[in-house]
Every structure is written in C-alpha cells, then in structure tokens.
Amino acid sequence: METIIIATNNKGKVKDFESLFHPMGFQIKSLQDFPEIEEIEETGTTFEENAILKAEYLAKVLQTPVIADDSGLIVDALEGRPGVYSARYAGLHKSDEDNLQKVLSELHDVFPGKRTARFYCALALAAPGKKTITVNGTVEGYISSEKRGTNGFGYDPIFFLPELDKTMAELTADEKSGLSHRANAIKSLMNVIEKEGKEFF
C-alpha cells in the first residue's frame, strides 16, 4: 500500500485523513510516526501560509512528498474568529474543550439565525524539487447553543449541519468524510494533481 505523509500532530485530523485516503488505497503516516522531528511553528497569518510552512518544512527534512493541513472555524458573528488562531483560541496550552467553550460563551447572546459559521481547510502538498500545490475546502453550518455528539474532534460538537439536524460530532467518520471541509479540499487537490498530470506520491 502506498503511504501519504501528513505534517500534523493532531490525532483527529489523522483519523479524518485515514477515512478519506484508505478508500483510495493509501495509508497515512503523520508526525506521530516521526517523534524526532520538532514542532513546526505556525507563524503565518493565513491558513494557506501555515499549511505551506508545515508541508515544505517536513518535505525538506524527509526528502519526500508531504501534505499539511491548516484549518479552523470561522464564525461570522465573531468577525471571522477564531479563524487561523482556532487551535490556540483559549490560550496556548488550552484544550479543544476550552476553545469550544470560549466560542459558546462569546455567542451566548447571539440568536440562532445569526450563528452562521464555516470550517475552512487549507492543504499544501510539497515535494522536493516541485512547486508546492495549495488548495482549500469549506463546509457551511451554524454554531449550536450547546455541545452534541462525541465523534470527531475540536469544534465538531458545536458545528451544526441543519440539513442533517446533527452536529459534526454526531456523524460517523464516513459521514464526515462525505461532506467536510477536509474532504472538499482533498477533492480539489486530486483535481489539481490530475490536471497537472503530476506523479506526486
């Protein structure tokens, strides 16, 4: 089986990538498989910049193609926050739970119809000697008034999909893979690779 290396330390993302790439016949390795590699600082101001930073760094160190994912939650009533700072919204060493509670409390007085939000995922594919490819994907939803569901990770328990009457955390891994920002970004990536006729993996 061919392997795709993802420059991430996030176990939730690894699970998402596994359910997205296994059906295509790829297995996934992540930074969890390379404990000797130090954490890559996210100094960019956009998702794309951070994805490129992470992918190019690891591709250079390992001398092999690498994908990185920089993603987050964009809430309209919060002027786009937590956005690119989604992982550190409640502070540098806070948990997913702290981050989502901060969003819930900031939206406390906001009416249901005004709680529109989207997940955004930027992917960068970097390979030695090749130009890095960057794509993105989104999924639209609403921030619920309380947590629901235990699947997924991060902000999934408060991201409500009205057509399904479920939060992202109430979806199975396969259901999430059918509609997520990450799934949409991977579709774009596959299209670009195909169009450019490049052998990447």
Of the candidate spans 104-112, 127-135, 146-154, 189-197, the one that interacts with ligand ITT by CB under 6 A turns out to be: 146-154
Under 8 Å between Cβ of 27 and 2: yes
Site for ligand ITT in 16-55 (CB under 6 A): 16, 42
- We find the least distance from the C-beta atom of residue 65 to Mg ion, in angstroms, to be 20
Instruction: Tell me: is residue 41 an annotated ligand-binding position.
Output: yes
Spatial CB neighbours of 162, under 8 Å, sequence gap ≥ 6: 141, 142
Instruction: Tell me: is residue 39 an annotated ligand-binding position.
Output: no
Instruction: Tell me: is residue 153 an annotated ligand-binding position.
Output: yes
**Shortest CA distance to 143 belongs to which of 163, 116, 173?**
116
**Is 96 an annotated catalytic residue?**
no
The H-or-E segment that residue 69 falls in is: strand 66-75
**Shortest CA distance to 148 belongs to which of 136, 156, 139?**
156
When asked if residue 96 is in the footprint of ligand ITT (CB under 6 A), the reply is yes
Which amino acid would we find at residue 163?
Answer: E
Footprint of ligand ITT (CB under 6 A) = 8-10, 13, 16, 42, 69-72, 86-87, 96, 99, 119, 152-156, 168, 180, 182
Catalytic residue numbers, as ranges: 70
